[in-house]
Every structure is written in C-alpha cells, then in structure tokens.
Amino acid sequence: MSFISRPVPRLLIAVGAAIFAVVAAIALSIQTSSPKPAWADTPVTINPDHIGATADEFDEQDCSGPLGSPPGPNYDGWHFVLPSSSGDNFTSITIQFTSVTAGPITAVFPDTDSGPGWVGYLAEAGNGDVIHAYIFTTPTGQAIVNGSATVSPDETTPGTFNLSHTCPGMSQSPSPSPSMSVSPSPSRSISPSPSRSVSPTPSVSRSPRPTPSRTTPGYGYGGPTTPPPVEPVQQPQHLSWWERLVN
C-alpha cells in the first residue's frame, strides 16, 4: 500500500515560527533583567596604615562639611574615601572600633543607617559615584580596629579604602577644670602722709618812716635855731554906733 505525501499547510508553518519567536524573546528578557549575582561586588579592606587611628590623634582633622553636623556633641566623626584604583562605588562598609561596630552601612544620603553607638551613611561625589562614607561613633576616643567594604564593579585586583579625615567630638565626661584659688590681694598699708610743717612767714619789721621836721626857712642849716617872736596881729575892733559917737 502506497502513501501519498501531502504538503504541510502554510498556516501551520507560520504559527510555529511565531511561537518560537515569542519564546526566544521571553528568554532574552529574563536573562537581561535578572539582578547581578552577589559575587559582582568586590570586597576591599581599610588601609592598614589607618588601623589604630583615633579621631583626636589622626593627622588630618576637619570639622567642616558633613562632619560638622554630628548627631550630638559626644560623637567622633569619620570620613572614609574609596580611591578610583579600588572601585567606582561603595555598596557597603563596616568599620570595627574599640567598643562599637558600625555597619554594614548601605544607605546613601539622605538615608542613614544606625545602631547602638553609631550613625552612618554613604554619599555621592559630584560625578554621582558613591565614593564617600561618613560614620559617627560614641563614646569619643575610640580607635579603628578593622574595616571592610564591598565595591562595584567587579575588580580582579582587590584594593583598599582610606580614612580621609576625622572630627573629634567632645568628651562625654570632661574632667572638671581645676578650681582657681584666688589669693586675697595683700592689704595695702597706707602710711600717713608726712605732715607738712609750715614755717611761719618771717615778720618784716618796718621801721617807722621818719616824719620830716618842718623847719622855718632860713633857720637851722646854719641860721638861728630859735625863730624870732611873732608879733600878734591886732584884730580890728568893731565899735557900735554909740561908742563911735562917744569916741
């Protein structure tokens, strides 16, 4: 018995091609939209030269910018920087201090992460790369024990990140300032001013001015000492008319 082959309908071929195209598009979409695997971030460590640093003894100190706004007066401020040779962005950072472990910090400013004794956040640079990390710790005076971070993109040669500068906070228990004992000022003994003895003004004895003796001209000075007698001047008599008549 012979079989006669029939041509495949064109419609069936077209439907099959359409189904294949849809499946391929879905597979490509799933592949491109899947998140990066965790191993895409590279672990880096803190610069070994900065282990043991304290905020108040670190060489570079600057309390301007973000470190100028701590959560309180009793917080040390720390600024960490990712160099370009170690990666483009911080994705997380963890710093272990003497009595506080800050991290992992993944929040980018203005968001923050926090825990007992610390507050921190990542921050972008002017070009948008997340290369800054700011951490505030309390109590003050703690030292860096260790530090690690993850960065992107994936780097074949892991690098390090640096402590840029610090801002020391105020001590939580400031030592009382020594009491200033004010010694009483010595009493000034005022010696009495010496009494001024006023010597009496010497009295000036004035000798009486001699009254010049009035001498009759021509007498004395070689003339007679006794003036001649003066003849009395007879006054004219005033007679009454009766006496005149009798006389």
Q: What is the DSSP secondary-structure string of 208-221? A: PPPPPP---TTSST
State which amino acid sits at residue 137.
T
Q: What is the pTM of this model?
A: 0.56
Largest pairwise CA distance in the chain = 244
Could you tell me whether strands 160-167 and 42-46 are parallel, antiparallel, or unpaired per DSSP bridges? parallel
pLDDT at 225 over 60: no
Give how far Cα 43 sits from Cα of 40, 89, 92, 116, 155, Å: 10, 12, 9, 25, 9
Nearest Cα to 141, choosing from 110, 172, 111, 163?
A: 172
For residue 6 the two structure tokens come to 């029939």
| Averaged pLDDT of the chain | 75
The more confidently predicted of residues 116 and 174 is: 116
Which residue reads 């041509």 in tokens?
7
For 73-110, how does the pLDDT look when each residue is reduced to its tens digit (9 = 90+)?
Answer: 899 999 999 999 999 999 999 999 999 999 999 999 99
Q: Mapping DSSP to helix (H, G, I), strand (E, B) and coil, where does residue 174 land?
A: coil
- Rounded to whole angstroms, the Cα distance separating 103 from 191 reads 76
**pLDDT the model gives residue 172:** 46
The more confidently predicted of residues 247 and 138 is: 138
Question: CA torsion angle for 120, 122, 125, 129 (degrees, to 10)?
Answer: 170
